[in-house]
Amino acid sequence: MRFLVTIKKECLILLRDKAGLAILFVMPLLLITIMSLIQDAPFKDYKENKIPIVYVDNDKDSLGSIIKKGLINSGIFSVITEINEETASDESIKQAVAKGDFRLGIIIPEGATNTMNKNVENRVGKMLAGFGMGKKDSTVFQPDSIQLIILFDPAAKIAFRSSVSSALDKFITRTEMETMLRIFSQKLGEASGIKQEASIESRPLITLKEIQANDSKVAELLTNSVQHNVPAWAIFAMFYIVIPLASSMIKEREEGSALRLLLIPGSYMTSLYGKIFIYTAVCLIQFFLMMLVGIYFLPLLGLPAFEIGTNFIALMLMVIACALAATGYGFMVGSIFNSHHQAMVFGSVSVVILAAIGGVLVPVYVMPGIMQSISIISPLNWSLNGLNNVFLRQTNLSEILPDILRLTGFFVLMILLSVKFNQMKKYK
């Protein structure tokens, strides 16, 4: 009965704290909406979000047009040939990229096609001569180098530079190969006396096909900003319960109501357990509200709908474990600290650190090796890992059980530490 009375009291206090309710429910919803919108572009496929590239073709021959065509057909880039309604030149492209108007520019040098053809012809001629075909040329041929100039915005990240360079390298290699095959075919025809040029098929013989390692319906989902942000920030918001929970505990001590509970036999801990129950329930409500926002509201803003998966039992157990861990952490912070200021600063900073370590801000797999090793200590990492297993990998209960046990163990440890701290405070 005392437990139920405590729950009723906590509900009344929570419902009357309008600012607290806003922090608990409105702020997390705003957070996931804003984060999903902000991170939507980086998560989107390049096909949906093309990189503008300024292109100066001084070659005005086949190599220049093949590279241009290749860039357009790649779907990664949109090729721009004019700056301020004037045909881009070597100077204007340099200025535009340096100013940051464009992140990328390419200059194809004059006579590039001719030089390439000469180089390839010489190489093919030598090769055929080796087989006793064609004329043997004893002169030493010094190939001219062709330098395609790629201009990068100084602020462009290394990862962006290397991905662009690698894409361009692919087109150049392909063009070189095609030219070589064409000239080889011509020379071979001349040597064998066949005038007709052989047709060359340039379609790649080996292609890549990306498929998910798991063949379930949910696993075919491509990870997008909503699929990453909704669970990640939902977990972050759940752990942010440390602020209202610790604040409520410190307020009770400051207002004196905790003192009265200490005067009533056995009621102090019952009251604290009631608090744990209510705040765990708040975490669960927060989580499912955020899921609903992901499923129904974010699509209205042009974002993909959140896919919740189909294993609801595993999801429920996982969310309860996360909520318990978050509440336990808040309970411990509220027990250790004596002032609101201390609890607020420690609570918020520690949750941000645990979130960063745990992969909420940046996925764990892109972290340096040492941080990946450290990430396993964060309860937010266990939470995110377990929930992603449920949402994306459609795993069964036994596979998320280690995460559930870790989170529950963390909750028990936090409560035991809190009880110890409360006893130390009582009998000073």
Partner 1 sequence: MSIAISIENLVHRYKDAEQVAVNDITLEIKEGEIFGLLGPNGAGKTTTISILSSLIKPTQGKVSIHGFDLAQQSDESKKVIGVVPQEIALYPTLTSKENLDFFGSMYGIQKNNLKEKINHYLHIFGLENTGNKRVEQFSGGMKRRLNLIASLLHDPKVLILDEPTASVDVQSRNMIIEFLRELNKKGTTILYTSHYLEEAENLCTKIAIIDDGKIIIQGSPQQIIGSQPGFDNLENIFLRLTGKKLRD
Point out which residues bind partner 1 (CB under 8 A).
1-2, 5-6, 8-9, 12-13, 16-17, 255-257, 259-267, 270-271, 426-428
Minimum CB separation from partner 1 for residue 387, in Å?
35
Tell me how far apart the alpha carbons of residues 420 and 343 are, in angstroms, rounded to a whole number.
Answer: 18
Considering the complex, state which of residue 262 and residue 284 has its C-beta at the smaller distance from partner 1. Answer: 262
Q: Which two tokens stand for residue 40?
A: 């939507």
Backbone phi, then psi, for 104, in 5-degree steps?
-155, 140
Tell me how far apart the alpha carbons of residues 354 and 374 are, in angstroms, rounded to a whole number.
Answer: 10
Minimum CB separation from partner 1 for residue 227, in Å?
40
Considering the complex, state which of residue 245 and residue 289 has its C-beta at the smaller distance from partner 1. Answer: 245
Q: Are 200 and 186 a contacting pair, CB within 8 Å?
A: no
Contacts of 3 (CB under 8 A, 6+ apart): 270, 273, 274, 277
Task: Name the residue among 163, 155, 175 with its Cα closest to residue 76.
Answer: 163
What is the identity of the amino acid at 337?
F
Considering the complex, state which of residue 33 and residue 335 has its C-beta at the smaller distance from partner 1. Answer: 335
Contacts of 85 (CB under 8 A, 6+ apart): none
Minimum CB separation from partner 1 for residue 363, in Å?
42
What is the identity of the amino acid at 195?
K
Considering the complex, state which of residue 31 and residue 262 has its C-beta at the smaller distance from partner 1. Answer: 262
Minimum CB separation from partner 1 for residue 279, in Å?
17
At residue 73, the 3 state secondary structure works out as helix
Minimum CB separation from partner 1 for residue 1, in Å?
7
Backbone phi, then psi, for 55, in 5-degree steps?
-130, 125
Considering the complex, state which of residue 9 and residue 174 has its C-beta at the smaller distance from partner 1. Answer: 9
Minimum CB separation from partner 1 for residue 425, in Å?
11
Cα dihedral 62, 64, 69, 75 in deg (nearest 10) = 160
Element holding 338 (H helix, E strand): none
Minimum CB separation from partner 1 for residue 9, in Å?
5
Considering the complex, state which of residue 15 and residue 377 has its C-beta at the smaller distance from partner 1. Answer: 15
Minimum CB separation from partner 1 for residue 248, in Å?
11
Tell me how far apart the alpha carbons of residues 286 and 293 are, in angstroms, rounded to a whole number.
Answer: 11
Considering the complex, state which of residue 21 and residue 51 has its C-beta at the smaller distance from partner 1. Answer: 21
Considering the complex, state which of residue 18 and residue 203 has its C-beta at the smaller distance from partner 1. Answer: 18
Q: Are 378 and 354 a contacting pair, CB within 8 Å?
A: yes
Considering the complex, state which of residue 6 and residue 311 has its C-beta at the smaller distance from partner 1. Answer: 6
Tell me how far apart the alpha carbons of residues 239 and 245 are, in angstroms, rounded to a whole number.
Answer: 10
Minimum CB separation from partner 1 for residue 276, in Å?
17
301 DSSP assignment = G
